[in-house]
């Protein structure tokens, strides 16, 4: 090995969901929204003055911060935005997990967490989900350097009730607790309102709580890369200090315009959520009839296993039929498929294929 390689920071990178180049596929592998973003997003992009593109964007992203703050009834000083929730989460790892003590997160969870921990040289411990794929609260009562977990969890789709989330936050006031709510908008309940089990409902009570969400799922803007965090003013101030030491201009002009339009079209947001939840329920019923089992999902995907046919076989057969789902070749979950909720037509095609395949 050349001597210079001894000084290279080496990590095992995150493996993103496949973005197939195949035409005419049904893409159900990366939890994208099956519907286009609000028509007001297109109108906002059409109205964006091209002259703006030669200028740097507002480093404070004030228009988008203000829109998010208004929507979630917090002060603008309590909102941080970034290039997708991955950017916000990575910045949060860098900012808040510097104690030298191990941070804690589940063993089956978003697989970027251990990558960021390794990248930033943050020690960590994973805590095993129980046999029902639920986070066990008592595992997070020990001394630690910080806590992060998704709610609903990914890839399982299991939602933790707000009282149990608060229990973890309350018992860990001396560290930052991050709740990653990429899928929280798909919780059963009134569409478009702050969900009952969202940790946003706890923000005013805990200075150490940071809630991270994304525009990639419920707001159909995965291609624009918009994420945000809500927390106490002190937490957000620390995040901004690190951001301005790393990259002042994180959000481009078009993403800001698209984000504001998406937040402000509340009616369209609620309509899309309702359609996806209805399709999810219908798909759950059909899959159960075909011999699949799964936890009740509160996300825009299902995490399923079949009583007789291995997940790896089903994954390959579906791919051969140009239906792409997600398979994780990992301990405890290597007999499960994660299936994104698509349109009614896409899910009908999926179910029809599975029904024919399982008859063979």
DSSP per-residue codes, 212-240 = EEESSSTTS-GGG--EEEEE-HHHHHHHH
**Phi and psi torsions of 28, nearest 5°:** -125, 40
pLDDT number for residue 291: 97
| Residues 6+ positions from 102 with CB-CB distance below 8 Å | 123, 124, 125, 144, 145
The H-or-E segment that residue 180 falls in is: strand 177-180
Which residues, in sequence order, are bridge partners of residue 227? 82, 214
Residue among 303, 298, 228, 217 at smallest CA distance from 35: 217
User: How many whole angstroms separate alpha carbon 80 and alpha carbon 101?
Assistant: 26
pLDDT tens-digit profile, the chain (360 residues)? 788 988 898 888 988 888 888 788 999 999 999 999 999 999 998 887 777 888 899 999 999 999 999 999 999 999 999 999 999 999 999 999 999 999 999 999 999 999 999 999 999 999 999 999 999 999 999 999 999 999 999 999 999 999 999 999 999 999 999 999 999 999 999 887 899 999 999 999 999 999 999 999 999 999 999 999 999 999 999 999 999 999 898 899 999 999 999 999 999 999 999 999 999 999 999 999 999 999 999 999 999 999 999 999 999 999 999 999 999 999 999 999 999 999 999 999 999 999 999 987
C-alpha span between 250 and 80 (Å, rounded): 11
pLDDT of residue 192: 79
| Residue-wise DSSP of 8-23 | S-------PPP----S
Give the pair of three-digit tokens for residue 21.
């180049």
Q: How far apart are the C-alpha atoms of 61 and 57, rounded to whole Å?
A: 8
**CA distances to 13, 124, 217 from 10, in Å:** 9, 17, 31
CB crowding 205-226: b at 16 or more within 10 Å, else e: ebebbbbbbbbbbbbbbbebbb
The tokens describing 148, both together, are 């992060």
Looking at residue 24, its pLDDT comes to 86
Checking phi first, is residue 2 left (phi over 0); if not, alpha (psi -120 to 50) or beta? beta
Contact by Cβ (8 Å): 63, 260: yes
**Backbone phi, psi, residue 112, to 5°:** -85, -20
Report the alpha-carbon distance of residue 76 to residue 201 in Å, rounded.
Answer: 16
Which domains does the chain carry?
Answer: 19-37+267-359 (3.90.1150.10), 39-264 (3.40.640.10)
* Contact criterion met (CB below 8 Å) for 297 and 157: yes
**Which pLDDT score, from 0 to 100, does residue 48 have?**
75
Q: Is the alpha carbon torsion for 319, 324, 328, 333 positive or negative?
A: negative
342, 318 contact by CB (below 8 A): no
Single pTM value for the model: 0.95
Question: Which sign, positive or negative, has the C-alpha torsion 151, 111, 90, 119?
Answer: positive
Token pair of 36 as six digits: 């286009």
């Amino acid at each position: 090995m050349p001597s210079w390689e001894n000084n290279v920071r080496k990590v095992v990178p995150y493996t993103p969901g496949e973005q197939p180049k195949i035409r005419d596929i049904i893409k159900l592998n990366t939890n994208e929204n099956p519907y286009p973003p609000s028509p007001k997003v297109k109108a906002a992009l059409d109205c964006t003055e091209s002259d703006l593109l030669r200028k740097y964007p507002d480093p404070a992203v004030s228009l988008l911060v203000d829109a998010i703050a208004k929507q979630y009834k917090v002060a603008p000083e309590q909102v941080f935005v970034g290039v997708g929730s991955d950017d916000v989460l990575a910045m949060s790892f860098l900012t808040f997990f510097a104690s030298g003590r191990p941070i804690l997160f589940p063993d089956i969870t978003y697989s970027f967490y251990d990558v960021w921990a390794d990248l930033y040289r943050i020690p960590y411990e994973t805590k095993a989900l129980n046999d029902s794929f639920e986070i066990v609260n008592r595992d997070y009562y020990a001394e630690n350097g910080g806590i992060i977990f998704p709610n609903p969890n990914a890839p399982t789709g299991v939602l933790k009730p707000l009282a149990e989330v608060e229990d973890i936050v309350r018992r860990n006031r001396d560290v930052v607790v991050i709740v990653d709510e990429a899928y929280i908008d798909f919780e059963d309940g009134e569409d478009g309102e702050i969900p009952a089990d969202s940790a946003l409902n706890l923000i005013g009570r805990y200075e150490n709580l940071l809630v991270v969400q994304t525009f990639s799922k419920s707001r159909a803007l995965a291609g624009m890369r918009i994420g945000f965090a809500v927390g106490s003013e002190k937490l957000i101030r620390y995040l901004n200090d690190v951001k301005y030491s790393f990259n002042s201009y994180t959000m481009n002009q078009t993403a800001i315009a698209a984000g504001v339009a998406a937040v402000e079209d509340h009616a369209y947001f609620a309509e899309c959520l309702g359609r996806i939840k209805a399709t999810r329920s219908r798909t759950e019923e059909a899959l159960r009839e075909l011999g699949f089992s799964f936890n009740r999902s509160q996300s825009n995907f299902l995490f399923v296993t079949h009583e007789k046919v291995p997940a790896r076989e089903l994954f390959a057969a579906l791919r051969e039929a140009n239906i792409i789902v997600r398979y994780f070749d990992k301990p405890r979950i290597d007999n499960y498929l994660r299936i994104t909720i698509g349109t009614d037509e896409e899910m009908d095609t999926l179910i029809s294929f599975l029904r024919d395949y399982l008859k063979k």
